[in-house]
Each structure stands twice: as C-alpha cells, then as structure tokens.
C-alpha cells in the first residue's frame, strides 16, 4: 500500500463538478447563456423533480486556518440584515425568469458560518424564500452550525421552519491541533449541541472530521473517533485536509508545512479512523463519507441513487441547483455559473438588479458524457465505458487505465469498469483518467490539493 500511496499521491480534483472550476470555458460563457440554459431545464424538470437551493452565508467571527471556503471574518453583526436583503433580492431576480413557481426539494444553508446570523434573520431568509415557491412533498432542509455559537434558539427556530438535518464542524478534539487551526471547541460543547438537536427532533446529525491536520497523530485521531462514537451522529464526513495555501493566502499559513502529516502516515490516519468508524457501525459511502444504516445517505447508496454536486454527497439529485449569495455556484444540468466571490461586488450586482454571475461553463455533449462517467465512479464505484469510447478512443483509454488495472485498482469486463476495494483509496486518481481538460492542460501552478 505504501508504494501505491507514493505513486498516486499527486494533485487532483475532488470532482464536485466536471469540468472542474479551473477549466471552465470563460470565452464561450455569458450570463445570457446561463439564463437561457437555466430556463430551459427549469421548465423541463421543475414539475417532475423540483429544484435545489444552496444559500451561502459567508460570515465568520474568527478564522479557522484549515478552511478553504469563501468567507469574510467580522464580529460586526450589522452585516446580517443587508446581506439577507441581498440574497432575497437575488432570489426574486431568479423568480422573474421562471414561468411557474419553483418546487423546492432541497435547501441547504452553508458558509462561512450560517449560525453567525441570528435566528430572527435566518427565519426571515427562509420565510422569504418560500413566500413565492412551493415545498416539495419530500422537502429536505439542512444547515451547517458552529458548535460554539449554535444556540438552542437557532435549533428550535430552524426545526420549526422544517430543517431536519444539521451538520457540525468538529475537525479534531486534540488541543494542540485545535490551537494550530484556530478552532477551539470542547467536546462537551459539541456533545451538548448535538444532543439538544436530537432532543428537539432533528432526524440526521452530521459531524465533520478532518485528517491530515497539523500535529495530528494516530492517537489523536483515535481519540476524536472514540469521542464521536459517544455522540453517535448519523453521518460523518471524514475527509482529507486540502492544503492549498497558494489559493487561500494567509488563511492556511497558521502553521508550518513540516507540521503536517505526510504521505503514508497521513493515509494511516484515515485507515485507522475508518476501521474505528466501521467498528462503531458506520458504512463508507463514496469518498470519505460514512453513515449509519438508518440514514438516508446509506439507503441511497444501497439503492444506487447517491449523487454528488457542489454541496457534496446527497441522497438524490435534482437537475437544477441554484446557488444564492456571494461565491455560490449554480448548476442547471448542462451549465454552471458562479456568483461574484467578493461580498462588495456581489452586493453591487444585486443593487443593479443583475443576477450576480461572474463566470461559468456551458457543457458540451462530450462534457456531459464524461461528467456522467465520473459521477458514476465516485458515487457507485462503477461505470459503463461504451459512451466514453466515442470521446476517448478505446486504445487510448486502455493506455490511461493500464496502471490501475496492473495495480488491481479497477477491473474492466464487457465495457464495465468497476473500482476494487483497494481502488477506493485512489478513486480521485481513477477519475482523472477521464478528465480531458486536466490531461490536455499544462498548468503553470498547482491547482489542486494532493489526492491522498
């Protein structure tokens, strides 16, 4: 295994989209093309499957130095009301494009720190969203909460609005690690807010844990997992720390590179953690995600309905995903669009009554085929190569996959590629063999975090 880790530990995408954001074709994209594709796909799918909404709430009171999200650090809560006003105005700009009321099947509040906002402002936001839309009969609503500032009032108000799933960022319980990443939260606090959520009635509680953080050891990972098992959240995201300081500036320079676990040892952190999670009754779902057998994510995985998008893994898909707020990304099935990242630029666009999109990508037919293939691999560990051969000649694709075959990471039989148990560790690398943009490019700087 160590030799394989050294061999395949290279920079690579996480494939929350294909093509990945660095390879979006800006020359062909325009906001008008985005709107045209969105309207077409909304009309085709809204009454059949509904739509998803992701709302980005970017404010945090302090900077966590592991974070790769788009965020703005402030303790000035006067920003809440004008930002919510802008998001609701953006939503109205989208509503004006549609010929019928959107049927919302999924709504997720992400950040940043959504619980930076008061429960009053969050209620105003959610009420405003549903004022001119319809709730799907299988509506799923979730939000990300910081254990230190998610109050009982937050939990109760959002539950009363229809939220049934909450995700808490834990990362690690070791004090030395917490100090290095500026994320100080006691186990007792995480336990209390998780148990309160369960007491109120939340059906699914997620804990996020990261491996590969500075100063982490096998012992500290085990301690974090043992503590997590005392709470028994329904889902656990146990994912690799993405060290991308060239993209995030000083936010990921709160420690030295030599403080980070490397290569084989970093992977050992995951293997030890995974073994413990499985011992405690969690099943591995896709890349770096785990769920109890009673959770919808596990059930969707067993039913082969698991989906992956900009929000991560979801139990099912909708063709249309609209992202509201600064930096949010939207997806209408055959086009992507990202909002202005900087809050002042985002607010200025809204003030001009413009949908605040600043870049995106219109997918070609080849993009759609390869996107389907990559999504199959990272959600179901298997894909049919028949359609792919029309884009990548069979001999060429065979050459790209030979190393994976020789290392017993995949099998191919009757044009069906299947990832082996060993290959699940290297699923990002396997997906890279189908990434035409990545293969044809020679970037001058590193674009992605390491795959292992």
Choose between 4 and 436: higher pLDDT. 436
pLDDT for the residue 264: 84
pLDDT at 387 over 50: yes
Query: Which class is domain 23-362?
Result: alpha beta
pLDDT at 436 over 50: yes
Contact status, residue 345 vs residue 77, Cβ threshold 8 Å: no
Strands 51-57, 410-413: pairing is unpaired
Confidence label for 447 from pLDDT (cuts 50, 70 and 90): low
pLDDT at 62 over 80: yes
88-92, 239-243, 259-263: segment of lowest average pLDDT: 239-243
pLDDT for the residue 131: 97
User: Which CATH fold would you assign to the domain 1-19+364-452?
Assistant: Arc Repressor Mutant, subunit A (1.10.10)
Confidence label for 10 from pLDDT (cuts 50, 70 and 90): confident
pLDDT for the residue 12: 87
pLDDT at 425 over 70: yes
**Residues 304-324: what's their mean pLDDT?**
91
Q: Report how far apart, in Å, the C-alpha atoms of 380 and of each of 43, 178, 191, 405, 421 are.
A: 29, 34, 33, 18, 12
pLDDT at 452 over 80: no
Three-state DSSP state, 37? helix
Contact status, residue 289 vs residue 237, Cβ threshold 8 Å: yes
Confidence label for 442 from pLDDT (cuts 50, 70 and 90): low
pLDDT for the residue 228: 97
pLDDT for the residue 280: 97
Q: How far apart, in whole angstroms, are the C-alpha atoms of residue 254 and residue 261?
A: 15
pLDDT at 252 over 60: no
**Which tens digit of pLDDT belongs to each residue from 330-379?**
999 999 999 999 999 999 999 999 999 999 999 999 999 999 999 999 99
Q: Report how far apart, in Å, the C-alpha atoms of 186 and of each of 189, 230, 271, 280 are.
A: 5, 14, 25, 22
Q: What is the mean pLDDT of the chain?
A: 93
**Which tens digit of pLDDT belongs to each residue from 410-420?**
999 999 999 99
How many Å is the Cα radius of gyration of the chain? Answer: 21
**Residues 82-96: what's their mean pLDDT?**
98
148 backbone dihedrals φ, ψ, rounded to 5° = -80, -20
**Residues 281-298: what's their mean pLDDT?**
94
Percent of the chain with pLDDT over 90: 80
Q: How far apart, in whole angstroms, are the C-alpha atoms of residue 444 and residue 452?
A: 22
Cis peptide leading into residue 451 (ω within 30°): no
**Residue ranges with strand state E in 334-448:** 335-339, 357-362, 382-384, 410-413, 416-419
pLDDT for the residue 346: 98
pLDDT at 246 over 50: no
pLDDT at 231 over 90: yes
Q: Model-level pTM? A: 0.94
**Residues 163-192: what's their mean pLDDT?**
94
**Residues 178-205: what's their mean pLDDT?**
95
Other residues' Cβ atoms within 10 Å of the Cβ of residue 443: 11
pLDDT for the residue 444: 58
Q: How far apart, in whole angstroms, are the C-alpha atoms of residue 111 and residue 128?
A: 19
DSSP 43-91: HHHHHHH-EEEEEEE-EESS--TT--S--EE---GGGHHHHHHHHHHHH
For the chain, domain boundaries: 1-19+364-452, 23-362
What tokens appear for 211 in the block? 């491996």
**Residues 130-150: what's their mean pLDDT?**
96
């Amino acid at each position: 295994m160590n030799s394989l880790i050294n061999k395949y530990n290279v920079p690579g995408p996480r494939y929350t989209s294909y093509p990945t954001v660095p390879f979006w074709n800006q020359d062909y994209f325009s906001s008008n093309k985005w709107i045209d594709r969105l309207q077409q796909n909304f009309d085709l799918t809204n009454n059949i499957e509904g739509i998803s909404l992701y709302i980005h709430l970017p404010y945090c009171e302090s900077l966590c130095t592991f974070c790769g999200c788009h965020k703005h650090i402030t303790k000035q809560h006067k920003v809440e009301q004008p930002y919510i006003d802008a998001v609701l105005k953006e939503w109205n700009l989208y509503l004006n494009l549609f010929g019928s009321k959107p049927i919302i099947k999924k709504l997720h509040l992400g950040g940043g720190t959504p619980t930076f906002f008061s429960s009053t402002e969050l209620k105003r936001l959610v009420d405003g969203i549903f004022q001119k839309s319809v709730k799907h009969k299988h509506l799923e609503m979730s939000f990300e909460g910081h254990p230190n500032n998610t109050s009982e009032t937050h939990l109760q108000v959002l539950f009363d609005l229809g939220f049934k799933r909450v995700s808490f960022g834990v990362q690690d319980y070791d004090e030395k690690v917490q100090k290095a990443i500026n994320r100080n939260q006691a186990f007792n606090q995480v336990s209390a807010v998780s148990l309160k959520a369960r007491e109120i009635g939340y059906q699914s509680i997620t804990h996020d844990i990261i491996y590969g953080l500075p100063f982490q050891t096998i012992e500290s990972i085990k301690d974090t997992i043992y503590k997590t098992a005392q709470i028994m959240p329904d889902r656990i995201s146990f994912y690799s720390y993405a060290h991308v300081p060239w993209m995030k500036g000083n936010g990921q320079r709160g420690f030295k590179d030599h403080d980070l676990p490397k290569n084989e040892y970093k992977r050992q952190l995951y293997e030890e953690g995974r073994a413990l999670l499985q011992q405690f009754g969690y099943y591995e779902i896709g890349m770096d995600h785990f769920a109890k057998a009673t959770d919808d994510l596990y059930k969707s995985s067993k039913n082969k309905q698991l989906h992956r998008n900009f929000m991560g893994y979801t139990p099912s898909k909708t063709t249309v995903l609209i992202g509201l707020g600064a930096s949010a990304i939207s997806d209408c099935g055959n086009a992507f669009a990202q909002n202005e990242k900087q809050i002042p630029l985002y607010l200025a666009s809204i003030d001009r009554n413009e949908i605040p999109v600043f870049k995106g990508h219109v997918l070609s037919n080849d993009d759609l085929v390869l996107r389907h293939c990559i999504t199959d691999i990272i959600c179901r560990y298997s894909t049919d190569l028949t359609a792919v051969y029309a884009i990548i000649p069979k001999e060429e694709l065979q050459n790209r996959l030979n190393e994976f075959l020789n290392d017993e990471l995949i099998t191919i039989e009757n044009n069906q590629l299947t990832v082996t148990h060993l290959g699940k560790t290297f699923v990002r690398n396997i997906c890279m063999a189908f990434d035409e943009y990545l293969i044809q490019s020679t970037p001058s700087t590193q674009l992605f975090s390491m795959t292992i």
